[in-house]
A and B are shown apart, each in its own frame.
Chain A
Amino acid sequence: NAGVTQTPKFRVLKTGQSMTLLCAQDMNHEYMYWYRQDPGMGLRLIHYSVGEGTTAKGEVPDGYNVSRLKKQNFLLGLESAAPSQTSVYFCASSSGTKGSEQFFGPGTRLTVL
């Protein structure tokens, strides 16, 4: 039982390049989330999904796209990376019950030059 996994763990991009971050969970959770965390700040919600085939915008969605084609996977895409997207990205999942714990992946450290 791996919980929530993220690939890759580290990545360096040049401005304008694209990439996809993959999140996978094996807990059969309905809800999945993508956050970014910058130094001295809490986690900010980028996009989230309340079930397979659904996505919704969070607090800071600009410059990102997501897809949830399978219940266990949630992909975060950067179409044209910018230095402002340098951050640590965390994926999380939960059962969706109000107050239910969110389980976080180990994070992806992304640097955009």
Chain B
Amino acid sequence: GQSLEQPSEVTAVEGAIVQINCTYQTSGFYGLSWYQQHDGGAPTFLSYNALDGLEETGRFSSFLSRSDSYGYLLLQELQMKDSASYFCAVMGDYKLSFGAGTTVTVRA
């Protein structure tokens, strides 16, 4: 089976940088995905890492270390609209297993 650990909450001010860590244990690993979900909304895809290293997409970056079973999502230049829940998810055999999510609250 799969298990994923990520912090439950993070609070930061506008303009700050937030890093959300994710550690996982899994049997069968193809990659690590990140999804964003605003309150009352549907999850939306942010990034996918299959190989070690950093992937950058605008203000958001995602990192993976397969040897450490670890990844993180980096949110830069935080904006109020970034207040949401962020989920890491392990991809295995075309299925995603999600972590419990990290609620990010951005304060003015």
Contact = CB atoms under 8 A, between A and B. Distances in A.
Interaction A to B: yes
A98 B30 contact: yes
The number of chain B residues touching the other chain, given as a range, is 20 to 34
Contacts of B31: 98-99
Contact of A59 (B8, B42, B97): B97
A94 to B, nearest CB: 8
Nearest to B87: A42
Interface of B: 4, 8, 30-31, 33, 41-45, 48, 50, 87, 89, 91, 94-101
Of the listed residues B4, B8, B48, B94, the one surrounded by the most CB atoms of chain A closer than 10 A to its CB is B94
B95 A48 contact: yes
Contact of B98 (A44, A103, A107): A44
Contacts of A105: 42
11 contacts: A41-B100, A42-B4, A43-B43, A44-B98, A96-B94, A98-B30, A98-B31, A99-B30, A99-B33, A102-B43, A106-B41
